[in-house]
Structure 1
């Protein structure tokens, strides 16, 4: 029986779905499908799980449970705008509904950084300065040093998703900080995946964006891994050539 990884995504998100099949083509499981969408606000999510949020989480997570997923990842940054504790609360809620292991993209990001012995990072977000600042607080509270913070000020998920990857590459190169050990791109919408390996080679440091971290987190919840160097260091890259292309 094939294993399935479910991704719980904000209703407007198109980030994770764009890359999962390409990155995980070597894995003989139904990764990241089905996807369940939840109408949870990305900024207004409070530090406690409100009744309206719990009902929406239950509805969306139940869809994944009915489809027989073996793990679930909340692939939206709203769970972590109020800190990792809130993200863990959302993950526990999903686990109670689905009966399988769950995590969030930011919790997966923090875990990955910790295992890589990363201390300092340059943080990039497609959203507003306010949202980016709250995400920075989450990383600071987790014990990381923020070498630089860049908020692109984009207003919609679609606006972020439709940026040409050539422009995304230039933005990432420009937002690097000399004392940062890596770049962390919050959220899942910016099309970082096609240029991540290329930017890593140019900067000499890893790039961790939400979409690829969400994919990796789901795999790790099931004890699986993917070796796909062309998609960056987190998938086993060593001096990769990259897959930069504006057609994605």
Structure 2
């Protein structure tokens, strides 16, 4: 029976859906439809879920539950802004609503880095320097070394999603400080997927972006592996990688 990964995305998202079906098609895994959107505030501080966040997560997760999702991944970067504890709280709330395993892009990224023994990261965000500073705090709080931060200063999700891939490829090369184990590109809007394999060959290190990590995390929640090196090193590993979920 075909399995479904439910992707819970921010209300402003206009990027991540482009890659879900393309990457998963060899496995016969589909995205649960409709993709549920949640209007969560980006600037709430602390690990706990505010009542408004909890209600919005419940509403959106309920849609995915009724669409038959077998696993759910929260794609928003708001969990990155508040740290891993906040991301775990969000995953638990989704699990309580849907009755299936859930995780977030934040938790998936942290688990992938830890599993592969990558300890130093170069952070890239489409947003502002203030935003990338808060994202760095999340990784520092989980014991990773942040060797550099790059804020591309793009004003809107659409601007990020429509960035020419050639220009993005150049930006990612310029963001590499050489002493980082990998590049972590936060958010799901930037079109990293089609150039990931090429950039990784050029830099000699893996690149993790939110959109592909969301797919990888969903597959791991279902216990599935995908060998598709055309989508980058993230889908070229033969070993099993568990997805981090609520703890």
Which category of TM-score, normalised to the shorter sequence, fits these structures?
over 0.9
The question of whether the paired residues in 2 share the 8 Å contact of 1:197 and 1:237 is answered with no
1:113-140 deviation digits (Å, cap 9, x = unpaired):
1111001111000011111111110001
- How far residue 24 of structure 1 moved from its aligned partner, in angstroms, is 1.4
**Matched residue pairs, number?**
237
Q: Does 1:177 align with 2:213?
A: no
Q: Which runs of 4+ in 1 moved over 6 A?
A: none
Separation (CA, whole Å) in 2 of partners of 1:226 and 1:33: 21
- Structure-1 residue corresponding to 2:43: 44
* 3-state SS in 2 of match to 1:150: strand
The question of whether the paired residues in 2 share the 8 Å contact of 1:3 and 1:69 is answered with yes
- How far residue 225 of structure 1 moved from its aligned partner, in angstroms, is 1.4
- How far residue 32 of structure 1 moved from its aligned partner, in angstroms, is 5.2
Q: Does 1:85 align with 2:113?
A: no
Separation (CA, whole Å) in 1 of partners of 2:209 and 2:149: 14
1:1-248 equivalences under 5 Å are 1-31=1-31, 33-41=33-41, 43-47=42-46, 48-236=48-236
Q: State the TM-score, normalizing by the size of structure 1.
A: 0.92
- Structure-1 residue corresponding to 2:244: none
- How far residue 20 of structure 1 moved from its aligned partner, in angstroms, is 1.2
Separation (CA, whole Å) in 2 of partners of 1:34 and 1:181: 37
- How far residue 151 of structure 1 moved from its aligned partner, in angstroms, is 0.8
Structure 2 segments unaligned to the other structure (5+ residues): 239-247
The question of whether the paired residues in 1 share the 8 Å contact of 2:6 and 2:70 is answered with yes
- How far residue 81 of structure 1 moved from its aligned partner, in angstroms, is 0.8
Structure 1 segments unaligned to the other structure (5+ residues): 239-248
1:133-171 deviation digits (Å, cap 9, x = unpaired):
111100011111111100111121001111000000000
1:46-67 deviation digits (Å, cap 9, x = unpaired):
3221111111111100000111
1:23-71 deviation digits (Å, cap 9, x = unpaired):
1120112235441000112x22332211111111111000001111111
The question of whether the paired residues in 2 share the 8 Å contact of 1:168 and 1:192 is answered with yes
Separation (CA, whole Å) in 1 of partners of 2:117 and 2:178: 17
- How far residue 237 of structure 1 moved from its aligned partner, in angstroms, is 6.8
